[in-house]
Amino acid sequence: MRIYWLCLFAAALAACAGSQGYMAEEAPADAGASVSVQMINAPWLQAEQQRRTRRSRQDIGGLLGDTPSPYQIGHGDILTIVVWDHPELGAGAPAAQAQSAPPAGDGAGVPAAGFVVDHDGLVQFPYAGELRLAGLTEEQARALLAERLARYISNPVVTLRVQSYRSQRIYIDGEVRNPGLQAINDLPMTLVEAMNRAGGPLPTADQSRLLLARGEQRYLLNLPQLMQQGVNPARILLRHGDVLQVPSRDESKVFISGEVVAPRALTMHNGRLTLNEAMGEAGGLTPQGDGRQVYVVRRAGGEPQVFQLDARAPGALAMAEAFELEPRDVVYVAATRLANWHRNISQIFPGALSSVVGAAR
């Protein structure tokens, strides 16, 4: 009986070798040639870190050149105008304009009483006639009105203020407490100011992948990385029409599979997750895992990129800690040759290997 099982085991080995040879012969000659494998080593990691730093600085280079400037009046703004010692000039005309004024920018249902800048940027004021105030600051608009009134009033003293800011706005969407429209007022609308006005980010927000849309341009902002590089996010000024998207952390996951204890989808920590951390959260390699074949598959620009780490090499843990994963990366640990051989035998003859071992004993 023992000889029978040994013969059966030898036949299984021959069948396995024959099937593997057939598959190798039938495989196309250029299979896998289009995808190159980059070994993860110290020189490549150093060059990759420098490339990441240059890319992050280039992404925000076009956002740091703006300087705060006084608010410019625009169409839709509601102005409060007072001519000292002439209260009659502030009555009647403002009330008439307020009848057709839309609701104020603060969401109040009752229109604010004041002078509305029309769609042409004009305001009508007694004695002064039509004034083109769009594009002017409060100080410039005040000087222009005083100049017009000086023809009829001696040394007019004018107070002009923007009562409701409605001409310039930005939009914030995503993982913030109060998403929606934010009006730009006399305070500079910086990135930090906009986030605070929206109630701040939610615990589920990924602050490492803020997306700022400005016209045709798209800027990817990493707030923790900016702080580490000494760049104050308050230097980033937002403009009228900007759209700020705060994504969820669930959209930035890394997938780990293969010969690991607990294959799963891992959530990145503010956009950062190293290969070493991913392997640790997955419980490490199983006994069937081949430490020489730890792969990271990444799709960038439509073309897949494959990186390989030899976890048995000296300094592998340090290199795994320095390798930063990106959202949607796939980490795969291949099985050893012995594990693959055992599985092939088990698929061809279920239970044959166990029976042979038991018979040999």
| Structure confidence by residue, pLDDT tens digits, 151-165 | 999 999 999 999 999
User: What confidence score (pLDDT) does residue 347 get?
Assistant: 73
Q: What is the residue extent of each domain of the chain?
A: 78-164, 168-248, 252-336
168-248 and 78-164 share a CATH fold: no
Lowest mean pLDDT among 62-76, 87-101, 119-133, 231-245: 87-101
Residue 123 has pLDDT above 90, yes or no: yes
Apex 141 CA angle, 137 and 146, nearest 5: 150
Question: 249: which 2 tokens?
Answer: 């952390």
Percent of the chain with pLDDT over 90: 51
Query: Residue 19 pLDDT more than 60?
Result: no
Bridging pattern class, strands 289-300 and 330-335: antiparallel
- Fold held by 252-336: Outer membrane lipoprotein wza fold like (3.10.560)
Res. 337 pLDDT band, cuts 50 70 90: confident
> For the structural domain made of 168-248, what CATH number should be given?
3.10.560.10
pLDDT digits (tens, 9 = 90+) for 338-352: 877 777 777 776 655
Closest CA to 115 of 128, 129, 96, 132: 96
Domain with residues 78-164, CATH architecture? 2-Layer Sandwich (3.30)
Of 29-38, 193-202, 242-251, the poorest mean pLDDT is in 29-38
Q: How confident is the model at residue 108 (pLDDT cuts 50, 70, 90)?
A: very low
pTM for this structure? Answer: 0.71
CA distances from 130 to 74, 117, 125, 133, 145 (A): 15, 11, 7, 9, 10
d(CA 169, CA 154): 39
Mean pLDDT of the 194-208 span: 93
Residues 6 or more apart whose Cβ sits within 8 Å of residue 303: none
Q: Is the pLDDT of residue 99 over 90?
A: no
The predicted structure's pLDDT at residue 21: 40
pLDDT band at 31 (very low <50, low <70, confident <90, very high): very low
Please report the pLDDT score of residue 58 as a whole number: 60
Question: Which residues, 6+ apart, have CB-to-CB distance to 57 below 8 Å?
Answer: 229
Query: What was the pLDDT predicted at 295?
Result: 95
